[in-house]
Amino acid sequence: MTPEDGMTEPVISLRSVRADLGSRPVLRGIDLTVERGEVVALLGANGSGKSTAIRTIIGQVPTAAGEIELFGTPRGRFRDWARIGYVPQRTTAAGGVPATVTEIVSSGRLSRARFGMLRRADHEAVRRALEMVGMADRAKDSVDALSGGQHQRVLIARALAAEPELLIMDEPMAGVDLASQEVLARALEEQVARGVTVLLVLHELGPLEPLIDRAVVLRDGCVLHDGPPPRAVGQHALPGHDHVHPHSPEHEPMRTGLLS
């Protein structure tokens, strides 16, 4: 392996990254490094800049200053998008044309497919991804007929279908019931065991807690904390936590917010 393969470089590197949205500074000098094989949780209150940080990393938001590298390549020159699977934060907005579950998940495979043609290996990857999130029995259904949590699982399957080296997920557990969260946690565990690098926005560590190597907490567009995740507690124990919703009892700290 040569360093140019991006095998020795950090998978993600941000240095002093600034980004503005609507002339408002949203990221105000972010440093973040994610090494190969790491699972990093991005935490912080609503509006602290988590989604913007992720959208900046994948090039959906331009940087006002600073440097971003993906697999050792400056983001502006990075072309190998098939190495990255992205699950956007779920919105409540209804989609346009209804597609089937299989169509949505297959779209995640297009970056790997030759000339846009899905072949047997691609169809198998789609089927495996649907099985991983427990949605294989809904493969032919229209996504319109799914619940919010099921829809979220389909979006995760779409990212998994590409068999990416880096998974970036923005609140993958939001709106997903506890049983499905366990299914997704196992799917993610399988990815991590294969050496996949993961950066994910979470409101609480929840069932993913055992998988997380490091927690980065944003506050008002700055990194407030970068270090080991707090063990056996939710995000509530972290500095900078200022959500306004009721705190759950000590014996079930993982449930807060996820079911609200």
Chain residues binding Mg ion by CB under 5 A are 50-51, 89
Q: Nearest-CA neighbor of 37 among 203, 232, 212? A: 212
By CB under 6 A, residue 98 contacts ligand ATP: no
By CB under 6 A, residue 26 contacts ligand ATP: yes
46 binds, options ligand ATP, Mg ion, none, Cβ within 5 to 8 A by partner type: ligand ATP
Q: Nearest-CA neighbor of 208 among 243, 181, 247, 235? A: 181
β 214-219/197-201 pair status: unpaired
Neighbours of 104 (CB within 10 A): 20
CB 151, min distance to ligand ATP, A: 17
- Give the x/- contact pattern for ligand ATP in 50-89, rule: CB under 6 A: xxx------------------------------------x
β 214-219/39-44 pair status: parallel
State how far the Cα of 151 lies from the Cα of 258, in Å rounded to an integer. Answer: 16
Quote the crossing angle between the two packed helices 148-161 and 120-132, to the nearest 10°.
Answer: 140
For ligand ATP, which stretch binds (CB under 6 A), given 17-25, 153-161, 183-191, 228-236? 17-25
For ligand ATP, which stretch binds (CB under 6 A), given 16-24, 99-107, 230-238, 245-253? 16-24
Which residue's CB is nearer to ligand ATP, number 2 or number 23?
Answer: 23
13 binds, options ligand ATP, Mg ion, none, Cβ within 5 to 8 A by partner type: none
Q: Count the site residues for ligand ATP by CB under 6 A.
A: 13
Q: Nearest-CA neighbor of 235 among 198, 203, 212? A: 203
